[in-house]
């Protein structure tokens, strides 16, 4: 039996390793060519200390308090030279991928589907044998090379990997390099290169109600997260507020309705900012956040969208005097 561990490095790179039952995480990483920080291998020095963000594990009792104190253990810190797994796990490594002598993985794949979902949003799917070994945490992104150029653009996965295929939700930015390629040239069968996965915006263990706030194609990481939640379930309520600028920007509504049917605790509100909108819910995302969604701060907030939206939500929470238990965000910043 083996488990999968996501190693998240300081520079945003994520690598996945297989850890056999009974094997320590440090041994498994070394076996797979990744030099995570390590010294004594004996539970004495603390050099291999990392933060476990998810998963069940056993640290045994062969380490000393100087290497890992009870308080550190209670915070989720672990010694990878002592850590044996009881489930898949996510570890934050306090070093860069370069220092650990690993790097982002690259994959070659072909476009399997590209189509306009509306005037402003493109759906892209790519498929390839190499993607069968691609793993990522729902919410993470990759860099896609723009065919015919040496430039890359960051895109969040909007799906989980399935049969070597992954999907994206891409805003058609007027005059944009990738947008121009996808809207005018791209055809099924075209080659694409992706590098990653990357990023610290991913679904953590659900320990309290979740509030998901999506702006435009910032919906993408949430559909990947919701796919995962539909598989694993949630004891806590999850509410998504999905805001766009114009009616034409609103996409994937059928898919969100399907999530409502598949996830018993899930609900969502869509809203459109433009005063000309004919949508029943008008205004910005912040205008649709109700006190029940904030649960007096006992809530984990995930936020993804353009930088001004991230700032607006930050300002809103400050005004409301709400300090959420956890606040994770991803800004869809322009690359150029
Ligand atoms: C971590 C991360 C994840 C991302 N995930 C997604 C995703 O899932 N879906 C998605 O649609 N985008 C995502 N983005 C944004 C994406 O990487 C590109 O910036 C965007 O698609 C524009 O690329 P382009 O080549 O079409 O335009 P570019 O050639 O990069 O830009 C053309 C012009 O448009 C401006 N511009 C670029 N983006 C915007 C914008 N959003 N609004 C207004 N003007 C803009 C640029 O400043 C430039 O002047 C993400 C960005 C980051 C950093
Ligand atoms: S390497 Fe020294 S405690 Fe793990």
pLDDT digits (tens, 9 = 90+) for 125-144: 999 999 988 889 899 999 99
CB of 117 sitting under 6 A from ligand 1: no
Confidence of residue 336 (pLDDT cuts 50, 70, 90): low
Q: What's the pLDDT score for residue 74?
A: 95
64 half-sphere exposure, CB direction, 13 A CA radius: 8
Report the percent of the chain where pLDDT is more than 70. 99
pLDDT value of residue 241 = 97
Q: How far is the CA of 117 from the centre of ligand 1 (A)?
A: 17
48 in contact with ligand 2, CB cutoff 6 A: yes
Residue-averaged pLDDT of the chain: 93
pLDDT in tens, 5-27: 999 999 889 999 999 999 999 99
Q: Which ligand has the shortest distance to the CA of 143?
A: 1
pLDDT band for position 100 (cuts 50, 70, 90)? confident
Q: What is the pLDDT at residue 39?
A: 84
Q: How far apart are the first and last CA of the chain?
A: 46
Q: Give the atom of ligand 1 at the shortest distance from the alpha carbon of 174.
A: 34
Q: Per mean pLDDT, which range of 57-66, 99-108, 158-167, 274-283 is the poorest? A: 99-108
Q: Which of 141, 84, 102, 87 is nearest to 9 (CA)?
A: 102
Beginning with the edge strand found earlier in the chain, give each strand of the sheet holding 191-198 in spatial order. 152-156, 141-145, 191-198, 105-116, 121-127, 165-171
Angle at 331 between CA 330 and CA 334, to 5 degrees: 140
CB atoms within 10 A of CB 174: 8
Domains of the chain as residue ranges with CATH: 2-100 (3.10.20.30), 104-198 (2.40.30.10), 210-331 (3.40.50.80)
What is the structure's pLDDT at 306? Answer: 92
The string of DSSP codes covering 248-285 is GG---HHHHHHHHHH-TTEEEEEEE--TT--SSSBS-G
Q: b/e map of 219-243 (b: 16 or more CB within 10 Å)?
A: bbbbbbbbbebbeeebeebbbbbbb
Of 139, 140, 173, the residue with max ligand 1 atoms within 8 A of its CB, to mutate for a pocket test, comes to 173
The more confident residue out of 71 and 196 is: 71
Q: What is the pTM of this model?
A: 0.88
CA contacts within 13 A on the Cβ side of 117: 22
User: How many H helices and E strands in the chain?
Assistant: 7, 18
pLDDT tens for 268-316 read: 999 999 999 998 999 999 999 999 999 999 999 999 999 999 999 999 9
Is the minimum distance from the CB of 71 to ligand 1 under 6 angstroms? no
Q: Long-range contacts for 26-35 (Cβ within 8 Å, ≥24 apart)?
A: 26/80, 26/81, 26/83, 29/80, 33/101, 33/102, 34/7, 34/100, 34/101, 34/102, 35/99, 35/100, 35/101, 35/102
Task: Give residue 123's pLDDT.
Answer: 97
Structure token pair of residue 194: 């992706």
Based on its alpha-carbon atoms, the radius of gyration of the chain, rounded to whole angstroms, reads 21
Look at residue 256 in the predicted model and tell me its pLDDT. 97
Closest ligand (CA of 72): 2
Ligand 2, residue 63: give the atom nearest the CA. Answer: 3
Q: Which of 93, 87, 92 is CA-nearest to residue 2?
A: 87
Average pLDDT over residues 189-207: 91
Average pLDDT value for residue range 254-259: 97
- Cα angle, residue 171 at apex, residues 169 and 175 outer, rounded to 5°: 145
Least confident of 112-121, 146-155, 197-206, 226-235: 197-206
């Amino acid at each position: 039996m083996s488990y999968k561990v996501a190693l998240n490095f300081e520079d945003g790179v994520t690598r996945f390793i297989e850890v056999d039952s009974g094997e320590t995480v440090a041994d498994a990483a070394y076996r797979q060519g990744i030099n995570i920080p390590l010294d004594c291998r004996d539970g004495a020095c603390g050099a291999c200390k990392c933060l476990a963000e998810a998963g069940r594990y056993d640290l045994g009792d062969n380490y000393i308090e100087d290497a890992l104190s009870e308080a550190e253990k209670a915070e989720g810190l672990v010694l990878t030279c002592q850590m044996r797994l009881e489930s898949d796990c996510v570890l934050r490594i306090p070093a860069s991928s370069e220092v650990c002598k690993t790097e982002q993985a690259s994959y070659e794949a072909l476009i399997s589907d590209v189509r306009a979902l509306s005037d402003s949003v493109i759906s892209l799917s790519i498929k390839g044998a190499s993607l069968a070994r691609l793993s990522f945490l729902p919410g993470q992104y990759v860099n896609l090379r723009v065919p015919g150029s040496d430039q890359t653009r960051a895109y969040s996965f909007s799906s989980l990997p399935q049969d070597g295929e992954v999907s994206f939700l891409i805003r058609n930015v007027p005059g944009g390099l990738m947008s121009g390629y996808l809207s005018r040239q791209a055809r099924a069968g075209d080659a694409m290169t992706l590098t990653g996965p990357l990023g610290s915006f991913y679904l953590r263990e659900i320990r309290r109600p979740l509030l998901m706030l999506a702006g435009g194609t910032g919906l993408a990481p949430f559909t990947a997260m919701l796919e995962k939640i539909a598989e694993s379930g949630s004891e806590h309520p999850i509410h998504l507020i999905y805001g766009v600028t114009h009616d034409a920007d609103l996409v994937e509504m059928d898919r969100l309705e399907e999530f409502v049917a598949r996830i018993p605790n899930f609900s969502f509100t869509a809203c459109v900012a433009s005063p000309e909108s004919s949508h029943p819910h008008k205004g910005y995302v912040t205008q649709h956040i109700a006190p029940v969604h904030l649960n007096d701060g006992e809530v984990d907030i995930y936020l993804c969208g353009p930088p001004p939206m991230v700032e607006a939500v930050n300002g809103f929470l400050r005004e409301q005097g709400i300090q959420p238990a956890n606040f994770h965000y991803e800004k869809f910043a322009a690359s150029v």
